[in-house]
Structure formats: C-alpha cells, structure tokens
Chains A and B, each alone.
Chain A
Amino acid sequence: MDAQTFNARVATPTTRLVGALSIVSMAWVVLGGLFITPKDVNQGDAVRIMYVHVPTAWVAYLAFIVTAVASACWLLSRKHSMGFDRVAGASAEVGVIFMAMTLLSGSLWGRITWGSYWAWDPRLTTTAFLLVTYIGYLAVRGLGGSLEQRARRSAVIALLAVLEIPLVHFSVLMWRSLHQKASVLSGDGDIKMDGSMLTTLLVGVIGFTCTFAWLVMHRQRVLAMQDAMQMTQLDVALRERANESDDRVKGLK
C-alpha cells in the first residue's frame, strides 16, 4: 500500500470511539471468558463458549432487524435516500458472517453438552434458515442493474423475509413439539450465573454490538465510495461516447 493510500482516511470521531470501545470490550471478554470467570456448576468449562456464542447470536439477529428496518426506511422515504439501502446491505453482509459463526460455536457447544453437532430444535433450525435467507438476500443484491433497482429489489426481499421467518419458526416449533424433545436441548437452561459471569456476558453483548456498529458504518462508507465510482465511470463512458459522435460529425464536415 503506498503512502497516499495509507493516509487516506475513512474514519470519523464516532467510528474511532466505537472502535476503541469494542476493542476494550473484546479484550475483557477474552480475559473474563477464558480466565477470570469460574467453571459452571453443571457444564464445567463448556460454559466459556457462551461468552462468545451469545454475543454473536445477538449481533446476527440485530443485523437482520437493522437490514429490515433500513429496507423499510428506504421504501418509505420520499427521496429513497441511498444511505438506507447501503446500511441494509452492509448490515446483511456482517450479519451473515456472524450468523455462520453463531451456528459454528453453537454446534461445538452442542457437541460438548448434548453429544451431537446438530439438533432439529426450533431455535437452531430457524437460525439455519436465517443464514440461508441472508445468503439469498445478498445474492439478490448482486444481480446488477441500477442502484435504484438494487435498492428496490433487496428492500422487497428483506421485508418478505421478515414475513417468512416467523412463519418458518412457528411451523418448526409446531413440528418439533410433536417429538417433545425441546426442553432437553436448551444448552443454557442449566447454567447458574454468578456476578462475574453475568458481567462478562453483558460486556460481550455490548462490545460485539459496538463491533457490529463499527463494521456497518465503515462498510456503508465503502459501499458509498464504490457506488460513487460506478457513477463516475458511467459519466466518463457517456462523455466518451458523446465525444466520439462529435468527432465523427466534425470529420464529416
């Protein structure tokens, strides 16, 4: 990276503050989760996964809500301000990664506590569906076309997803209640939380939320610049075409 690129800045005071907060919190989570907090009475050391799993799950669901709300804002705003669309897209990109990490950590936690990497309980199944839905949303964003088309299509898809996810969750809930295993499989039901555990968990949730906010703000700015470059390139191409025809006309004269 050359000096000019290295010095070009995307940060603002807000993002610097949020970034600092998230670094501090995540350090706290690592120290607290791995060293300071005690073993759980029932789960032993396995509970340490919770300090990472719960925050990533929280962020994954938060990202989904942010995408949905930003999509609704885009649709409802008179000017169709593109900032909303970019936030929706950035949030979904971060969300899909956190959703995948949630499933991974949950799966490993389940391996320790229940003995299997997966179970068809409603929460897990809905989470897996959310992941696939995110992937579909991102694929729709990649379909091309004008920025307005991208925004409109993805906004509709995001809001349809808001309708679909509760339906999926409810159906799976009804379905699994036929098999009556739900209560056995809640990994966190038997955890006794003491002071340091609760604090670490809370710091984790707040810290990961700050990380999410930082990532979305920066990613949104990157998208803004990418969109601007796309428009500039379009302008340049149009001007070249116009000059071409001008030259030809001059040549004929």
Chain B
Amino acid sequence: MSTQLSLGRVALAVAAKDLRIEMRSRVVVNQVFPFAGLVMVMFAFALDNDDVLTRVAAGLVWLATLFSLIIIIQRSFAVDTADGALEAQRVAGLEPAGIFVGKALAVMVQLVTLEFMLFVAAVVLYRVQLHADGAVLLVTCVVSATAGLSFVGTLYGGLTAGSRGRETLLPLLMLPVVAPVLIGATRATESAFNSGGAAVSDGWPWVGVLVIFAAVFGLGGILSFGSLIEE
C-alpha cells in the first residue's frame, strides 16, 4: 500500500470520526453557533450605526469566524486529549499527517457551516445585499479562506492541546498567523458585497493570497504536525 493511499484513508477516517462525535454531541452546533450569532449582535451594540455596520459587515463576519475558530479548535482537540486518545492514535501507527488532514477537514466542514450562518446573519442584521455576480467570488473566497484557517488552527491546536494551561496560548499563536486570511477574506468579501464601491473584479487577487496561504499551511502542517504533538 503506498503512503499516498494510507494518508488519504487515515484522513477520511479521522474526519469521519470527528464529525460523527459532533453529530452525536452537538457541542459546536449548540454552543459555538449561538456564540457566533451573539458576537454579531454585540458588534451592533458596540458600533451603533446602521451605515457603518453595512459598510464593515464583511470584516465583522470574518472576525466572528476567527473568534469561533478558536473555540472550535479547542473543542476538536478536547475530544482527543480526554482519555489520551491522541497518543493512542499515534501509538496505533496512524500517520500524524493523516491525523492532521483529517482533523482539519472536520474543522473545515464545521467552519463553512458556521460561515454560511454568519452570512445569513449579516444579510438580516446588517442589511447586506447579496448580488448574483459576486456569488462565485464569495464561494471561492469562503472555501479557500476556510481551508487556510482550518490548517493553521489544527496545527497550532495540536501544539497547545492538553493540560497545564496550554490552551490559552492558542489565540496568541494563531491570530497573528491568520492575519493574511483576515485581510484577504475581508477584502474579497467586500468586493463580493460591493461594499463602499469595491468591484467584484478587485476581489480575485485576494483570493489568490488565500489560496497561497492555504497551500503553504496545508503543506507546512503535513510536514510538522507530527513533531508538534509528540509528548
């Protein structure tokens, strides 16, 4: 069996396991989604200006996404560190790269669902107007940004998982690294929304940045995840 095949199989098995756990426990759906919605509401309280909200809606959606990502990553690894499941997977011979891709895939699925919900909230709460010609840009932006965020989150989540007050390190490590995603996704989304006159065509270079970012951290994660989770 070639290494390529076993990595894919491991990844799918791990992703399926994580998603099955979420479907049965519904922790992300019941706790993180409402949290994200709450953040959107609180932005409105803090900014107190309808025009400003519509103008900055793209940024607020991605900020809410980032804050929720932190919790989703912590949850993703909490299910593995209770009972030492992560060590068990490693000792069982599962390739760390496969575990990395699998966990990142599961995070991606949850994150994309969350983002869909946040865009609906933006339309409702911030009066964002969606346009058909921005749709392709928006979808591409969402997919590439989410991939990048999931890879980075899983990587640093693996490092900070566990006891002894390590989880608090996750935001400090992760948020500077995902700054390019925040910048790129927000600009691309603004173009898709035509916020402040941004044209749809302006958004595509930013999608390029997002794709490069996802590729760099996907590869970087595959190479280094094993070293980071070694205990």
Taking beta carbons and an 8 Å cutoff, which residues of A are in contact with B?
Answer: 129, 132-133, 135-136, 139-140, 143-145, 149, 152-153, 156-157, 159-160, 163-164, 167-168, 170-172, 174-175, 178
Contacts and interface: CB of A to CB of B under 8 A. Distances in A.
Interface residues of B, number: 27
Contact of A174 (B164, B205, B217): B205
A156 B224 contact: yes
Interface centre among B176, B206, B216 (most CB of A within 10 A): B176
A211 to B, nearest CB: 27
Contacts, number: 68
A152 B205 CA distance: 36
A221 to B, nearest CB: 27
Interface in B40-75: none
Nearest to B213: A167
Contacts of A163: 216-217, 220
Given A145-B231, A156-B228, A175-B187, 7 more contacts: A133-B176, A136-B172, A152-B227, A156-B227, A157-B173, A160-B155, A160-B220
B227 to A, nearest CB: 5
13 contacts: A133-B176, A136-B176, A139-B173, A140-B173, A143-B164, A144-B164, A152-B227, A163-B216, A167-B209, A168-B180, A171-B183, A171-B209, A178-B187
B87 interface: no
Interface of B: 155, 159, 164, 166, 169, 172-173, 176-177, 179-180, 183-184, 187, 205-206, 209, 212-213, 216-217, 220, 224, 227-228, 230-231
Which are the 9 A-B pairs with shortest beta-carbon distances? Answer: A171-B180, A171-B183, A136-B173, A156-B224, A167-B180, A132-B176, A164-B177, A175-B183, A156-B227
B27 to A, nearest CB: 26
Nearest to A136: B173
Q: Do most interface residues of chain B lie in helix, strand or loop, or is the interface mixed?
A: helix
Given A129-B176, A160-B220, A149 B183 contact: no
A152 B230 CA distance: 9
Contact of A135 (B159, B172, B213, B220): B172
